[in-house]
Amino acid sequence: MHELVRTNDLILLGALEALLNAADLDCLIADQHISALEGMIGAFPRRLLVREEDKRRARALLIEAGYGAELRDE
């Protein structure tokens, strides 16, 4: 799995997940449960992951949609 974004912003994650799903790219939001357990204080950000074979297409899609600044370094 390739990590695209790491954030505590639930709205951003929802938007990115919707974009990827609309483009038929499977994604996973990791660390959702630990973030809920820690009481939403922001100590454990959530991670948006895609399959390795989809990473270039997913990154290009998010850059084109204006979310390039949110992407983690390759």
pLDDT of 11-69, one tens digit each? 999 999 999 999 999 999 998 877 566 666 667 889 999 999 999 999 999 999 999 99
**Residue 31: left if φ>0, alpha if ψ -120 to 50, beta else—which one?**
left
Helix (H) or strand (E) holding 18: helix 10-22
In the predicted model, is pLDDT for residue 74 greater than 90? no
Amino acid 70: pLDDT:
96
Amino acid 37: pLDDT:
66
Amino acid 34: pLDDT:
76
